Amino acid sequence: MRPITLAQTAERVASGQSADKALPEFLDEFYLATSPEQQSAMLAEEPRPTGDPRLDGLFGAVAEYLAHEFGLPRVPSWAYMPGRYLDRAWHTSPIADKGFREYLTFASPAEFASRNIFTEERPLRRARGPRPSQ
C-alpha cells in the first residue's frame, strides 16, 4: 500500500524503506488527489523525525514546495520548525563535480535552498505528474 500522507512516508523511511521509493509513491498519490482540501490533508500531519536530519529537512521542503506549487491555502506550520532546516549544505546529487554543485545551488527552488538543500529546478517531477504552470 502506498503512503497517502507525507507523515506515512516518513514512517516508512524511518522503518527502513528507501526514501527513493517512498517519496515517489507519495508524490504519485498527491498528484492524483482530486481537490486542494485532499492535498492539504495529505500534508497536514507532521512527519515524525526519521533520525536523519537531511530527510527531516527534505520533508519540510517537500511540504512547503507542494503547498506553493498547487496554490494550497497554507503551508503546514510544522514545515517551518527548526528541525526542518539543515546546518550544512546538502547537494542531493551524487555527482561531486564543482560546476554541477554550483548549478544545483543556483537552480534549487527557494523552499529547498532556504533549508540548505540544493537540488534540481523541478525536484518533485514525476512522469505522470502535473504539468508546471505556465
Average pLDDT of the chain to the nearest whole number: 90
What are 2-52's pLDDT values in tens digits?
889 999 999 999 999 999 999 999 999 999 999 999 999 999 999 999 989
User: Using CA atoms in the order 103, 109, 112, 113, what is the torsion angle rounded to 10 degrees?
Assistant: 60
> Residue 104's CB: how many other CB atoms inside 10 A?
23
Give the range of the structural domain holding residue 46, as residue numbers without chain letter: 6-118
User: What is this structure's pTM?
Assistant: 0.90
Residue 104 lies in a domain: yes
Distance CA(8)–CA(46), nearest Å, equals: 10
Residue 133 lies in a domain: no
Beta pairing partners, 118: 91
Distance CA(65)–CA(124), nearest Å, equals: 9
Distance CA(41)–CA(134), nearest Å, equals: 26
Please state the domain count of the chain. 1
